[in-house]
Amino acid sequence: MDKKLSRLKLLLAEVADLQAAHNLLNWDLETYMPPAGAQARGHQLATLDSLCHQKFTSDEVGQLITDLKQELADADADSDEARLLKVIAKDYDRATKMPVEYVARLAQLTVRAHESWARARAESNFALFRPDLEEIIEMRKEYISFFPPKEHPYDTLLDEYEPGMKTTEVQRIFAALRSKQIALLQAITHAEQIDDSFLHLNYPQQQQWDFGIQVASKFGYDWRRGRQDKSVHPFSDSFSINDVRITTRIMEDYLPSALFSTMHEAGHGLYELGINQAYERTPLKGGASMGIHESQSRLWENLVGRSKPFWEYFYPRLQETFPTQLGNVDITSFYRGINKVEPSFIRVEADEATYNLHIMLRLELEIAMIEGSIEIKDLPELWNTKVEEYLGITPPDDAQGVLQDIHWSFAGLGYFSTYTLGNLISAQLWEKIGDAIPDLEEQIRQGEFAVLLDWLRSNIHIHGRKYEPQELLQRATGSGITSAPYLRYLESKYSEIYKL
Amino acid sequence: MDKKLSRLKLLLAEVADLQAAHNLLNWDLETYMPPAGAQARGHQLATLDSLCHQKFTSDEVGQLITDLKQELADADADSDEARLLKVIAKDYDRATKMPVEYVARLAQLTVRAHESWARARAESNFALFRPDLEEIIEMRKEYISFFPPKEHPYDTLLDEYEPGMKTTEVQRIFAALRSKQIALLQAITHAEQIDDSFLHLNYPQQQQWDFGIQVASKFGYDWRRGRQDKSVHPFSDSFSINDVRITTRIMEDYLPSALFSTMHEAGHGLYELGINQAYERTPLKGGASMGIHESQSRLWENLVGRSKPFWEYFYPRLQETFPTQLGNVDITSFYRGINKVEPSFIRVEADEATYNLHIMLRLELEIAMIEGSIEIKDLPELWNTKVEEYLGITPPDDAQGVLQDIHWSFAGLGYFSTYTLGNLISAQLWEKIGDAIPDLEEQIRQGEFAVLLDWLRSNIHIHGRKYEPQELLQRATGSGITSAPYLRYLESKYSEIYKL
């Protein structure tokens, strides 16, 4: 067994190296690559992608999995080895069930769809994207057909991003959330509105950058094992457990953009930095799911970064950094300003009280597309109706409506709900952490995050992909995913801010 | 034939993509990688390396080469296809003649040798490096034994870096150079010495950086297709014909360092940027040899960058940039300062008049080591004797003597002479360009480099690896490598500067 396991690990370590090279090619593309390098970079990414796939789906890997499954049948089901094999077997099953021809066809379609989507959005003309989207939906259905039937066809798509999650489960969770979030939003929009004009003054780049670095350092970001760069869209990526990088985007006329994106990406980065070093170059290196990953970014960005104790420590420092802009703004006004709620058309700009509503409408439309219960041509209309229902506003055009997100153009149906699941999980963890660390607020007020990070490391980060998300959460909090903590968090926070 | 050629090109395009990924991993290692990422990066580089080798040396590639050789036998021997096949066949022959076991053994040895060399240099104790160097010499001899015997065993090593170059040829060229360079140096050391203390004042980083960028831009460096970053040792690298990057190192207390390294690396970069776009993702993308590559970097750094016409244009601009440091230094003093000759122990700091002497002694020792006519234990002594003979100074210790260069620790015997060949070629090209562009000096005096770059592009750059270096040079200048032009250049330049 030892020999076969070593051989399998060796083969997968090579795949991990190729994956790391692929990620670096992509990181460079987003950060430093000169513009004319794009065409060659496309070839390089495609070659690495296809090599990763070939190497991972080889017959030898398949045979080793089969053999080891038998040999490990009596082993401790919770051992790293047994769990590693389980994760590999599932990945292998997914990767080999897709015919090579299908993968190539999808790649071609999504390249074309990305172009038609970008053009459609630029011209705010859904008709330009519609034929490709229709094909994408058909190909996603074809994808579902490669796997054994599940309770609901959409389950197969969810499972790609949130292993083990079921359509009925996410519908149940979202149903418990929807009416309460809408009610909260309505209460807020009827309350006295917040003035956040001071956030829109001129904030020079370098000081914003330095302040973000200072905050991430306080969180415990280890710059010997990571770095921050600039990119058009902030993201985080990892080329090793000891090389985890984040990016940010600085807007000189809007202070919150860089600051909260640095905290958000640092949350993702801290997760990857905390994974068990023994999982380096194995498929256990990585986050348990998109939802768990998002719970970490949201926890640091929102539960920590938009909290009062956090600013009791950092606000005097921020005022020192920007004396002319913030010298006359007291901490309460600042705290209310960065927590201002306002229904808007664009998901990525949404605040904590409206974000989930954006997600819900996407989930409902995706499920309906996969079920075939709606026609693609009706999508813009259906989109706008839901925006009116949930947010009380009407998109002026499709660019700010159904065409705003890139996800469908890369066939990423199944992805959106993980954003909301991440929000919910962050609040579940937060309640649990509050029990475990009674003086957490006081620690944050002192700019101390080590005990918090420690808790996240030993309960979440260290495990990498060893446990599926629901099991991981059960182990950490004693509960599956539930919306109650997040609702409690929102209601308590906004009741105070908006005096509801 | 078309089908087989297309298939071969496809296979080699994948190798080129892997090679580009490998190069980017290395570029990142030298520029932005956080220090703790080093271990994983080592694995990634090794995996990519070994995959490149596997893919390139596959039986299918071998069979396609054999088939195409027959089918292209009657084709125009100068066509891109015929030349591509010739280059591939030679690369393939070299790559497949080395047993996999040998490659792995050499990789292990050089990792160990790099460590022992670094330690030996730090402690200035040759004995620490000696056992590994002895093994390296044995393994280089073993390498030579994989190939058919040549006129001289060292020919096989030379051919790796300077295709087609022979030991007797390089000895003949160097012999014509040695006594004259020594005589020139002696004349210079007896002349009145130059004061260059103004180059050692404080020159702030950012202004140095900006000035270097300005110069490279004037040379014609296309920043849409490249960039400059900082690294400990300046280098250039290319990930595509449209993504060619250079690095520099800035010393605040020594102005020439960053400036001339930017010009040097820009010379390498302009070469890669000028390669025929049709050669992208083929083995014809790249320089003809290390010597030809070095001729391009030296041409821009020295023939252009240390010339009087160049500074007639740029010196007023440099004075404006550094008014307190250079305001009172006239152009003649500046020109003499940057061309100051001084025998020194360290090759990489050597000036134009002494550089080749450093190379010659290394070449002589390398040939003797391969011939077995000297013992490794005697190397420090032999080194110092030659330094005394050629440069008239005595190394105070082995760190500044035989241990100074990294090359032997990576088994790079055969490499050194290409530095001098590059110097010689640069002067040969320069005389030819002078004939072709009669008002070249006047153009440079106006800060105009487009006609010069154009000449280099159409005579050297565009061809990539299509021609071997001697053939390329023959086509461009009507002559093989010869030392006369370089000697004429040195004698005329330094006679004026030192009033000899």
Minimum distance, in Å, between the CA of residue B136 and any CA atom of chain A? 28
pLDDT at residue A1, rounded to an integer: 62
The pLDDT tens digits for A416-461 are 999 999 999 999 999 999 999 999 999 999 999 999 999 999 999 9
Judging contacts by C-beta atoms under 8 Å, the chain A residues touching residue B46 are 17
Minimum distance, in Å, between the CA of residue A492 and any CA atom of chain B? 41
The pLDDT of residue A74 is above 90: no
Read off the tokens for A95: 């990767």
Judged by CB atoms closer than 8 Å, whether chains meet at B243 and A281 is answered as no
Judging contacts by C-beta atoms under 8 Å, the chain B residues touching residue A40 are 20, 239-243, 280-281
What whole-number percentage of chain A has pLDDT above 70?
100
Of B107 and B387, the structure prediction assigns the larger pLDDT to B387
pLDDT at residue A422, rounded to an integer: 98
- Spatial distance between the Cα atoms of A255 and B208, rounded to a whole number of angstroms: 32
pLDDT at residue B481, rounded to an integer: 96
Judging contacts by C-beta atoms under 8 Å, the chain B residues touching residue A23 are none
CATH number of A2-147: 1.20.58
Instruction: Using CB atoms, pick whichever of A41, A43, A243 lies closest to residue B33.
Output: A243
Query: Which residue among the candidates B135, B162, B169, B265 is catalytic per the annotation?
Result: B265
Residue pair A357/A185 in contact by the 8 Å Cβ criterion: yes
- Spatial distance between the Cα atoms of A102 and A144, rounded to a whole number of angstroms: 12
The pLDDT of residue A113 is above 90: yes
Asked if the C-beta of B213 comes within 8 angstroms of chain A's C-beta atoms, the answer is: no
Closest CA to A460 of A280, A296, A305, A235: A296
Read off the tokens for A497: 């801010």
pLDDT at residue B298, rounded to an integer: 98
Asked if the C-beta of B223 comes within 8 angstroms of chain A's C-beta atoms, the answer is: yes
- Spatial distance between the Cα atoms of A466 and A468, rounded to a whole number of angstroms: 7
Judging contacts by C-beta atoms under 8 Å, the chain A residues touching residue B20 are 40, 44
A243-248/A236-240 β-pairing: antiparallel
Judging contacts by C-beta atoms under 8 Å, the chain A residues touching residue B41 are 239-240, 243
The mean per-residue pLDDT over the stretch B81-102 comes to 95
Read off the tokens for B87: 């280059």
CATH topology assigned to domain B126-500: Neurolysin; domain 3 (1.10.1370)
Interface test with A, best of B242, B280, B282 (most A CBs within 10 A): B242
Asked if the C-beta of A81 comes within 8 angstroms of chain B's C-beta atoms, the answer is: no
Query: Which residue among the candidates A265, A272, A294, A468 is catalytic per the annotation?
Result: A265
Residues 6+ apart with CB under 8 A from A31: A229, A230, A231, A247
Phi, psi values for residue A67, rounded to 5°: -60, -45
Minimum distance, in Å, between the CA of residue B359 and any CA atom of chain A? 36
How many Cβ atoms from other residues are within 10 Å of residue B55's Cβ? 18
pLDDT band at B100 (very low <50, low <70, confident <90, very high): confident
- Spatial distance between the Cα atoms of B480 and B166, rounded to a whole number of angstroms: 13
The pLDDT of residue A217 is above 90: yes
The pLDDT of residue B74 is above 90: no
The pLDDT of residue B219 is above 70: yes
Asked if the C-beta of A35 comes within 8 angstroms of chain B's C-beta atoms, the answer is: yes
Instruction: Using CB atoms, pick whichever of A13, A14, A243 lies closest to residue B37.
Output: A243
The pLDDT of residue B2 is above 90: no
Asked if the C-beta of B18 comes within 8 angstroms of chain A's C-beta atoms, the answer is: yes
The mean per-residue pLDDT over the stretch A198-202 comes to 98
Q: Could you give the ipTM of this predicted complex?
A: 0.94
Asked if the C-beta of A225 comes within 8 angstroms of chain B's C-beta atoms, the answer is: yes
The pLDDT tens digits for B354-369 are 999 999 999 999 999 9
Residue pair A457/A441 in contact by the 8 Å Cβ criterion: no
Instruction: Using CB atoms, pick whichever of B18, B22, B36 lies closest to residue A243.
Output: B36
Asked if the C-beta of A285 comes within 8 angstroms of chain B's C-beta atoms, the answer is: no
Instruction: Using CB atoms, pick whichever of A34, A224, A281 lies closest to residue B243.
Output: A34
The pLDDT tens digits for A363-413 are 999 999 999 999 999 999 999 999 999 999 999 999 999 999 999 999 999
Mean pLDDT in chain B? 96
Distance linking the first and last C-alpha atoms of chain A: 63
The mean per-residue pLDDT over the stretch A93-119 comes to 92
How many residue pairs from chains A and B have C-beta atoms closer than 8 A?
Answer: 119
Judged by CB atoms closer than 8 Å, whether chains meet at A243 and B40 is answered as yes
The pLDDT tens digits for B330-345 are 999 999 999 999 999 9
The mean per-residue pLDDT over the stretch B464-493 comes to 97
- Spatial distance between the Cα atoms of B264 and A240, rounded to a whole number of angstroms: 34
The pLDDT of residue B274 is above 80: yes
pLDDT at residue A184, rounded to an integer: 97
The pLDDT tens digits for A311-369 are 999 999 999 999 999 999 999 999 999 999 999 999 999 999 999 999 999 999 999 99
pLDDT at residue A85, rounded to an integer: 97
Judging contacts by C-beta atoms under 8 Å, the chain A residues touching residue B245 are 34
The number of CA neighbours under 13 Å toward the Cβ of B329 is 24
Minimum distance, in Å, between the CA of residue A29 and any CA atom of chain B? 11
Active site residue A265: yes
Judging contacts by C-beta atoms under 8 Å, the chain A residues touching residue B274 are none
Decide: helix, strand or coil at residue A370: helix
Instruction: Using CB atoms, pick whichever of A20, A32, A240 lies closest to residue B227.
Output: A32
The mean per-residue pLDDT over the stretch A274-299 comes to 98
The pLDDT tens digits for B165-199 are 999 999 999 999 999 999 999 999 999 999 999 99
Judged by CB atoms closer than 8 Å, whether chains meet at A242 and B37 is answered as yes
Three state DSSP letters for B336-362 = HHHCCCCCCCCHHHCCCCCHHHHHHHH
Mean pLDDT in chain A? 96
pLDDT at residue A75, rounded to an integer: 85
Asked if the C-beta of A276 comes within 8 angstroms of chain B's C-beta atoms, the answer is: no
The mean per-residue pLDDT over the stretch A174-195 comes to 96
Residue pair A187/A500 in contact by the 8 Å Cβ criterion: yes
Residue pair A333/A308 in contact by the 8 Å Cβ criterion: no
The pLDDT of residue B137 is above 70: yes
Judging contacts by C-beta atoms under 8 Å, the chain A residues touching residue B223 are 34
Read off the tokens for B376: 């490794």
pLDDT at residue B357, rounded to an integer: 97
Judged by CB atoms closer than 8 Å, whether chains meet at A51 and B225 is answered as no
Long-range contacts of B457-463 (CB under 8 A, 24+ apart): B457/B274, B459/B429, B460/B271, B460/B274, B460/B288, B460/B292, B460/B296, B460/B429, B461/B270, B461/B271, B461/B273, B461/B274, B461/B275, B461/B296, B462/B274, B462/B275, B462/B276, B463/B275, B463/B276, B463/B288
Torsion sign over Cα A54, A59, A64, A70: positive
Q: Looking at domain A148-500, does it have CATH number 3.90.1150.10?
A: no
pTM of the model: 0.95
pLDDT at residue A358, rounded to an integer: 97
The pLDDT of residue B1 is above 70: no
Long-range contacts of B73-82 (CB under 8 A, 24+ apart): B80/B278, B80/B279, B80/B284, B80/B466, B81/B5
Asked if the C-beta of B24 comes within 8 angstroms of chain A's C-beta atoms, the answer is: yes
Q: Domain spans of chain A? A: 2-147, 148-500
The pLDDT of residue B471 is above 70: yes
Which chain B residue lies closest to A44 (C-alpha atoms)? B17
